[in-house]
Amino acid sequence: MKGKLVGMNGDRAVAYAAKQAKVDVISAYPITPQTIIVETLAEYVNNGELDAAFIPVESEHTALSAAVGASLAGARVFTATSSQGLALMYEILWIAAGLRAPIVMAIGNRALSPNINIHCSHDDAYAARDTGWLQFFAENVQEAYDLTLMAFRVAEDERVLLPTIVNLDGFILTHALEGLYVLEDAEVDAFLPKRKPINPIDPKNPKTYGPLDFTDWYMEHKRLQFEVYQKVGGVVREVFDEYEKLTGRHYQPVKTFNVEGADKAIVILGSSAGTARFAARKLAEKGMKLGVVSLTQYRPFPVAELRKVLESFDVVAVLDRSVSFGSPGNQLFMDVSTALYSSKKRPILVNVVYGLGGRDFTPLHVERIYAALEEVQRKGEAPEESLWVGLREG
Amino acid sequence: MSEASSFVLKSWREMPPGGIIPVPKTSLLNKTGTWRALKPVINQAKCIRCLMCWVHCPEPAILRGEDDSVAVDYDYCKGCGICANVCPVHAIEMVPEG
Amino acid sequence: MRWHGRGGQGVVTSSELLALAALREGKFVYHAPEFGPERRGAPVKAYTRISREPIELHSGIYEPSAVVVIDPSLQNDPSIASGLRKGGLIVVNAKSPGDVLLRSAQEKGAEVWYVDAYSIAMEVFGRPFYNTPMLGAFVRASNVVSLESVVSVAMERFSKDSKLAQLNVLAIRRAYDEVKKYE
Amino acid sequence: MELKTIKTLKEIPREEQFAPGHRLCAGCGIPQVVRLALKAVPDPKVVVNATGCLEVATTIFPYTSWGVPWVHIAFENAAAVASGIEAAFKILSKKYGVEKPKIIVFGGDGGTFDIGFQALSGALERGHDMIYICYDNEAYMNTGIQRSGATPKGASTTTSPAGKVVPGKLERKKNLIEIAIAHGIRYAATMNPAFPVDMYNKIVKAANTPGPTVLHYFTPCPTGWYFDPSRSIEVARLAVQTRIWPLYEYDNGKIRITVPVKEPRPVEDYFKLQGRFRHLLEPENKWLLEEIKRDIEENWQKLMRMAEQSK
């Protein structure tokens, strides 16, 4: 591993990456479990370690509104939020993407109310899935740091120009200290030079940003935006490759473990992927083979990559740390189902709900899921309902 | 103006990212003079060059000359009649179009 | 390990310093505070996972190898030793370990170590700061990291205030020396 | 560079940075403040606009009336967006020598008094260098004349219609200037299109004041107030002459009446010109008319006291 080994929690690692990215503007509002990011950045600015404007806004709605304004002005902009804060930003999420403002935002993933809860669910990230933001999920503190740096590169690439979310599980990563390797400032400077904005606000070259767009042009504008997402995957891979050359750390949109020769797998997001691999190793000791597939890139959804990986399985559990009420499945399940539907060979899918509101996800749960997959495989048909693991008995 | 028209005539596939309008004042291509039912006519002999009509015109469609004489830009005048009403010497008359 | 104390006692700091010391020795670590709204005075926990292999497991710790009781009033809470592995370790802040604790230790076949961190803290800081002395005691009892690693991360942590850094190091060393195994 | 105030219309710069061809209603009062603000504040400048009449009518893709950079994000956040742009230019200017523009914000009364109130308060508290201009046409005109927190008592709107039981809006209008001043800002003023020199000079003073300033502009709306478009300026002037819309400024702790009204005109003169108030002149609504007159007198006396104390 290249770099200097340090111990940090996820929030601090993200803030450190933003500092090394030499962000110009930080516009953010505190909310648990993201707050440490904002506090750390305020400290960097007030101690003179980071030359940036820190806008201590009065709400998340303003945090993102100001971020969009600053980004249009040509600044490199960072913000962070969680749960209710992201929900309050919702209106502006679409606008940031549509106006092609390459803001980077960290989300300390947290369950949405009611009832109020500060712990991890993926409700917030999922609620942003249609807004046009790119999304990455970090599995550990190292990834939270790495993905934050890479997010700026992807977001600001002139083939992309889209705001980007880095998700890290609330508390499980935001507040957890792990060892991670950080780059030297000069290395980050070389990887991530000063932003070169396209069409920034310039009084010498006046442009109109965010006009009314009626029936005659709105659709064409959406089509133009739509076409960008077809190119993002390629840019992400370029950035992953370049980052690997710099750090020795390998990233890919879809991460696989133990998939060769396995007929059962689980698909999962975030910190639980490691727990799933840990459990898969234990299962392997007992002669049971479970593939673990985790998504580092969630939006745009890596359809082709995922299809290639999953087609060979008989049964696949898709794990959602959220519930999409009244939908034909929960969020990741719907994504995976759609991605696989047109495949010639497709596995039976089982939707699993786990870990809501910080309910701990343990290797025992993975074993239960494995048992459920065995049963589905035996019966040859998918269960009607989703399986909830970790729910209280009785 | 030529800048404005060249932008508007481009294919939508060449529109810049973010739905922006990349050049200023393209509304000059939208001649709102067609909205007008009554048209202001300035009696230059009466005009005292006070600029009241010029400052109050919402379009703006009152052209201000170097010598502060005024003229109506009928391409854009919507015929609201504010100019005639604010003229202290009644030098502007609203007359029906056509 | 699992750390027990009360909000405001630096429970999280102890766990974190231990993790940083292990990291310095080339080990892999995961440290997490108990996840709850911050509240001063209420019982709180923190968790440290240390391994020679990369740690992928991100779940809570239910079967700790060791338990450290930072707040003396918690040692007779019967849940202190819950999940403790057979042959595990309990380190308590006490002049002498209490009956409830000893009973559960016996059931688990756990080793009990104890140190009067209250007296050490009062003598060193003049205030009941138990967390760094208990860290020193735990390091001695567990040998999971070296005393010097812990001292160096403590020096760094309190580097803004050299007096405070020295006092913490003194507290760590004294507890390291004074902690005793209950026979 | 200190900008200069003027005494006559002739001193107002000729250059127009706001182009015709926009689709505001004939006789609309909004462009007058826009034109004067763009003239009074020299380049470089950036305009931020809340959703509202001005925004929708002047930037219908691909047509824009703006000759300066213009940004619209949403309804409730113009002051927030301006905060971000201001902060960005400040740091970009420090780090890379980019020239720092003056920020002018335009928000309607909905975007200022109501949905954008929090964002405005936050921006004023944080002290961003911007001129915030509220063009107040006293209702949500863009969506079809619904009441706002700026709709005056007695006015009939589509959500406060003058009915058989309730004769229009019964609540008073918020006092934007007092709210703005309470944030500790240094300059705030009311403006009216019938008094263009007064308006121009207030914009100049706002531009000369570092930090946030708030200008509250009376916007006659022929469509929503039901009057003949040609009488826009007459309606505006009457608002001042009846003491309904006092023209004053708050400048570094001092209140000053900028257009004194020694002999006020009867409020009925103002009301009878506008369909939104006509019901107030019916005998059964006399009680409301009297109440409104008392409010106007009370507001005026309060203002006079504040002006007196400032001397």
Which CATH number fits the domain that encloses residue D117?
Answer: 3.40.50.970
Average pLDDT over residues B63-76: 98
Cβ of A118 and C19 within 8 Å?
no
- Report d(CA A175, CA A82) in Å as an integer: 13
Mean pLDDT, residues D58-68 taken together = 97
At residue D236 the predicted structure's pLDDT band, cuts being 50, 70 and 90, is: very high
The Cα of B21 is separated from the nearest Cα of chain A by a number of Å equal to 5
Q: Chain B residues with CB inside 8 Å of D31's CB?
A: 57-60
The pTM score is 0.97
For an interface test with D, give the residue of A45, A62, A100 to mutate (most D CBs within 10 A). A62
- Residue A303: C-alpha distances to residues A135, A245, A252, A260 (Å): 14, 26, 13, 20
Q: How confident is the model at residue A3 (pLDDT cuts 50, 70, 90)?
A: confident
What's the rounded mean pLDDT across residues A317-323? 98
D165 is a domain residue: yes
Q: Do D91 and A55 touch (CB under 8 A)?
A: no
| pLDDT for the residue numbered C8 | 84
Cβ neighbours of C19 in A, within 8 Å = 7, 177
Look at chain C and report how many structural domains it folds into.
Answer: 1
- Tell which residue, A331, A39, A9, has the closest CA to residue A172: A9
Q: How far apart are CA A316 and CA A276, in angstroms?
A: 13
Helix, strand, or coil (residue C121): helix
CA angle (A145 as vertex; A142, A151 as ends), nearest 5: 130
pLDDT, position C34 = 80
- Mutant choice from A178, A281, A294, A354 vs C, greatest count of C C-beta within 10 A: A178
Tell me how far the alpha carbon of residue D300 is from its chain's centroid: 19
Is a pLDDT exceeding 90 seen at residue B6?
A: no
Q: Quote the pLDDT of residue A1.
A: 67
Q: Which residues in chain D (14-73) have CB-CB distances under 8 A to chain B?
A: 14, 16, 18-24, 26-32, 35-36, 58-59, 61-68
Q: D117-126 and A60-72 helices cross at what angle (nearest 10)?
A: 70
Residues 249-278 of A with CB under 8 A from C: 271-275, 277-278
Residue B66 has pLDDT above 90, yes or no: yes
Please name the amino acid found at residue A320.
Answer: D
Sign of the C-alpha dihedral, residues D288, D289, D294, D300? positive
Q: Which of A124-128, A159-163, A190-194, A341-345 has the lowest mean pLDDT?
A: A341-345
Q: What is the pLDDT of residue C36?
A: 58
What confidence category does residue D1 fall into, taking pLDDT thresholds of 50, 70 and 90?
confident
The pLDDT value given to residue A183 = 98
Which chain D residues are Cβ-neighbours of A68 within 8 angstroms? 73, 81, 84
Contact check, Cβ <8 Å, A69/D80:
yes
Global ipTM: 0.96
Interface of chain C against chain A, CB under 8 Å? 16, 19-20, 23, 28-33, 35, 37, 55-60, 62
Contacts of D29 in chain B (CB under 8 A): 58
Q: Provide, as residue numbers in chain A, all residues whose Cβ is less than 8 Å from the Cβ of B22.
A: 199, 207
Q: Could you give the strand order of the β-sheet that contains A25-28, starting from the edge strand earlier in sequence? A: A53-56, A25-28, A77-81, A104-109, A164-169, A134-137, A297-299
The answer, yes or no, to whether residue C153 has pLDDT greater than 70, is yes
Q: Among D9, D58, D62, whose Cβ lies nearest the Cβ of B51?
A: D9
3-state secondary structure of D94: helix
pLDDT of C37 higher than 60: no
Judge: A201–D71 Cβ closer than 8 Å, yes or no: yes
C129 pLDDT above the threshold of 70: yes
**Structural domain of residue C123, as residue ranges?**
2-181
CB contact under 8 A, D90 and A53: yes
Q: What confidence tier does B2 reach under pLDDT thresholds 50, 70, 90? A: low
| pLDDT for the residue numbered D311 | 86
- pLDDT for C76: 85
Give me the pLDDT at residue D305, please. Answer: 97
Write the CATH number of the domain with boundaries B32-98.
3.30.70.20
Instruction: Give pLDDT tens digits for D71-126.
Output: 999 999 999 999 999 999 999 999 999 999 999 999 999 999 999 999 999 999 99
| pLDDT of A309 strictly over 70 | yes
Q: Do chains B and A touch (3 or more CB pairs under 8 A)?
A: yes
Tokens of C45: 């926990």
**What integer best gives the mean pLDDT of chain A?**
97
Enumerate the β-bridge partners of residue C47: C2, C32
Residue at D230 is within a domain: yes
What residue ranges define each of the domains in chain A, with the CATH number in brackets? 4-247 (3.40.50.970), 254-388 (3.40.50.920)
Task: Confirm if C56 and A179 have CB atoms less than 8 A apart.
Answer: no
Q: D26: domain range?
A: 15-309
Nearest CA in chain D to A217: D61
d(CA C78, CA C75): 8
Confidence of residue D231 (pLDDT cuts 50, 70, 90): very high
Taking only the tens place, the pLDDT of each residue in D242-277 is 999 999 999 999 999 999 999 999 999 999 999 999
Min distance D48 CA to chain A CA atoms (Å): 9
CATH code for the domain of C123: 3.40.920.10
Answer whether residue D10 is part of any domain. Answer: no
Residue ranges of domains in chain B: 32-98
Test the A interface: residue of B12, B13, B20 with most A CBs within 10 Å: B20
Instruction: Measure CB to CB from residue A98 to each of B15, B19, B23 and give the nearest one.
Output: B19
* Predicted pLDDT at A42: 98
Q: Residue D174: its pLDDT value, please?
A: 97
Number of structural domains (chain D) is: 1
Give pLDDT, residue A35: 97
Asked if A212 reaches chain C (Cβ–Cβ under 8 Å), the answer is no
Q: Count interface pairs A-B at CB distance under 8 A.
A: 46
D60 pairs with which residues across the strands?
A212
pLDDT above 70 (res A71):
yes
Span D200-220, average pLDDT:
98
pLDDT at B10: 74
Q: How far apart, in whole angstroms, are the C-alpha atoms of residue A171 and residue A173?
A: 5
pLDDT, tens digit (0-9, with 9 covering 90-100), for D114-128: 999 999 999 999 999
Mean pLDDT of D12-21: 98
